[in-house]
Structure 1
């Protein structure tokens, strides 16, 4: 195989993906709108919160059902459609607020923006994996870190515009800004040419194909999305993601009041901890995904569950606020890291032929966990007036997740030994 020069810089491809994810990651800053919307329009907190839930549900649905669209039309077109959809939904949310239409707000911010988030989330991922066959985890970690850090950028900007101008103007300005940033990123996205390999890498470690693109020749199998859905491995990955996300999102939904209730911390201290959590959510995505390139994805997920089991058992016993916070940071880093390692892991297990579609289907675990985690803890707290029982229930779920990781390890070994695998899964399982 001879190396083909690429007309794109793969590091700029990564920056383009970050630009898209940084924009759609603004969904995590939704809390800054809640009090202003209640104060200006009189919407109850449950109605305001519902818009966020609707957006998360449509994020998961669009990621699941539009993976084939990404495969058929490529990352550039998909990214531009995502930019238009997310930008339109955000601007539409501003118009809905201006005319006082709650239904319009649900349709624009919840449905239309949610679809844009889901499509934008998966659009660059398969392309990134193909541009970085030697550093899959790190590359996807960079993009998904942008998603986790989106709230850190949008939060203060949105708050400033709302205080100095108005809520509708905030959505108008952000909607236009999101569209421009996402469109710029999408315009540079392109899959690598056939025959291309990264400079300095052993070409014997890479396979290229006009249809499949660039992939690591040690991927366990090269499967279509439909074929992947017929394997037990896929459902084990789905269960692993569901448990990992449920644990993290449960803590995210009650981090401030829970910290105050268990440690006796002041509200200002708890608010500071919530802000730092955002750093670990974003930073953990890049750090853990990069680590997974060296220790293997299966080992990484096993580490997530081992650390979280210990953390959830200790959390109810800790009254020192910053020791309590340190355990929260650990759990949230694993929450973010799980998202970042997922695309690379799916590539390890199923190849890159239809990675966008497989990734999209797997993100339905996000939508399910986004409902299950917060509902679980709110129900337990209402019934017991305590957070303690929720820690032990989640610990049991994490044990199930750890068992799923172990089962997946043996599933990988069985595929290798059966002779059906395309090569040794060097990064997906333990070395």
Structure 2
């Protein structure tokens, strides 16, 4: 049965539609995108383990660190073994991470939550994230931004499903938990049952992607597409660069900085999304400055969903736009526009909920767009030869940002006061720090140049290894 996972059994037959590949990738990315919904049950975990926001935030940070490390270490393995086997391994680790995490909650052992959701789940995140990307780029050489955006938007939209689903499951397992009351938290039994349910459910859904993914046969290309057309675009190469050589180039490390800065800035808002909208509209006495219904927990939950929509839409819209205007200009928009938006959020976000949601939403669309566009940027710079492995190594920037982003915002917030007492002013130091971070990324993007020919693989060698 396991031989069905081998690459030779995933080669698409003649006439196979490439538009069947994005749904298979989405099945995996929608599941692992649950990582963005951790803020929904964060306060419940804080109370259950009787610890700080930072200590619980470490769970998310470990998962993101392991995402980058597993993607970097396993990138070459994913390329050689094919997407089906990689997606199966991802599903196994992701599901087992929830189950071990559930054991940690049930026994009140925080280290088991770190090991389960953080380490094991993080490995599932990393392998699952990169497993369909190289395949999509090979199926869509004419529109790589569109292809990766179609799949990776699922990662951004995972919280759109996981957020309300988790809240309803907690209310089902704990009759005292009210998903519409800001101070309500679920007990340990409900959290344990939640993690078990998600682990089993996600494994089943990811199997749909595992058995529907295909790779194109050798020599396949889209009808009417001329490979020579890529030469007409700046920074796009028709040559190929191996992963071992890519990490020796200046362009790789400049792009690493770009991704790190873009992710660090966005991940802080995502990690704190649910309480953030309530905090922004609270005065120094702890009283809401607008109608209570405007910033109720149900609206806060809706805010998480709205951010997920922006995050998901940005991954598709902006990455598709990059096919038209180029990768470098689109990152100038992400980073330069992000600086303006973060400063505006810090200074004016507390004036109206609509303004706050709009600013935060566009910021998250740039954040999501940065993720979806980076595989196409890599393809432009380094070719398709080992783009999956190169992508895996680049995602170590996500690991570093997964530590830096939450540490920055949680560090500032823990210094300002306890959850439920914070105001918009408490967020300003963190938000202005993000403006500086984005400025560094903007500068790095300006410095990216085409990869020198000395790093290119000989055409014959690349074809031999690919075959």
TM-score, normalised via structure 1 length: 0.85
Number of residue equivalences: 407
Q: For each residue in 1:52-85, what CA deviation from the matched residue of structure 2 results, as whole angstroms up to 9, or x when unmatched?
A: 2222221121111111110221111111111111
Question: Is 1:193–2:193 an aligned residue pair?
Answer: no
For residue 150 of structure 2, what is the aligned residue in structure 1?
A: 142
For residue 394 of structure 1, what is the aligned residue in structure 2?
A: 434
Deviation at residue 127 of structure 1 after TM alignment = 0.5
Aligned partners of 1:136, 1:394: CA distance in 2, in Å? Answer: 29
Unaligned ranges ≥5, structure 2: 1-11, 174-189, 282-288, 417-424, 459-467
Question: Is 1:277–2:295 an aligned residue pair?
Answer: no
For residue 113 of structure 1, what is the aligned residue in structure 2?
A: 121
Deviation at residue 128 of structure 1 after TM alignment = 0.6
1:156 to 154, 164, 174: 164
1:316 to 333, 346, 355: 346
Indicate if the aligned counterparts of 2:163 and 2:301 stay in contact, CA closer than 8 A.
no
Deviation at residue 277 of structure 1 after TM alignment = 1.2
Q: Counterpart of 2:142 in 1: which secondary structure? A: coil
Q: Counterpart of 2:447 in 1: which secondary structure? A: helix
Aligned partners of 1:383, 1:394: CA distance in 2, in Å? Answer: 17
Q: For each residue in 1:223-278, what CA deviation from the matched residue of structure 2 results, as whole angstroms up to 9, or x when unmatched?
A: 01110011100011001111111111123334455545555455325554333112
Q: Counterpart of 1:387 in 2: which secondary structure? A: helix
Aligned partners of 2:362, 2:256: CA distance in 1, in Å? Answer: 22
Aligned partners of 1:174, 1:378: CA distance in 2, in Å? Answer: 26
Indicate if the aligned counterparts of 1:6 and 1:196 stay in contact, CA closer than 8 A.
no
Question: Is 1:167–2:191 an aligned residue pair?
Answer: yes
Counterparts in 2 of 1:369 and 1:77: CA distance versus 1, 3 Å: same
Aligned partners of 1:274, 1:309: CA distance in 2, in Å? Answer: 22
Counterparts in 2 of 1:49 and 1:350: CA distance versus 1, 3 Å: same
Indicate if the aligned counterparts of 2:140 and 2:147 stay in contact, CA closer than 8 A.
yes
Aligned partners of 2:59, 2:375: CA distance in 1, in Å? Answer: 28
Aligned partners of 1:390, 1:171: CA distance in 2, in Å? Answer: 31
Q: Counterpart of 1:30 in 2: which secondary structure? A: helix
Counterparts in 2 of 1:325 and 1:15: CA distance versus 1, 3 Å: same
Q: For each residue in 1:105-139, what CA deviation from the matched residue of structure 2 results, as whole angstroms up to 9, or x when unmatched?
A: 22222211111111111111100100011111111
Indicate if the aligned counterparts of 1:97 and 1:168 stay in contact, CA closer than 8 A.
yes
Runs of 4+ in 1 over 6 A off after TM superposition: 418-422
1:363 to 370, 395, 404: 395
Unaligned ranges ≥5, structure 1: 208-216, 423-431
Q: Cα RMSD (Å) of the superposition?
A: 2.9
Question: Is 1:219–2:237 an aligned residue pair?
Answer: yes
Question: Is 1:304–2:344 an aligned residue pair?
Answer: no
Q: For each residue in 1:9-39, what CA deviation from the matched residue of structure 2 results, as whole angstroms up to 9, or x when unmatched?
A: 3111111001011111111122333344455
Indicate if the aligned counterparts of 1:145 and 1:282 stay in contact, CA closer than 8 A.
yes
1:237-276, aligned counterparts within 5 Å?
A: 237-255=255-273, 259-260=277-278, 262=280, 264=289, 267-268=295-296, 270-276=300-306
Counterparts in 2 of 1:356 and 1:320: CA distance versus 1, 3 Å: same
Indicate if the aligned counterparts of 2:36 and 2:270 stay in contact, CA closer than 8 A.
no
Counterparts in 2 of 1:270 and 1:31: CA distance versus 1, 3 Å: closer
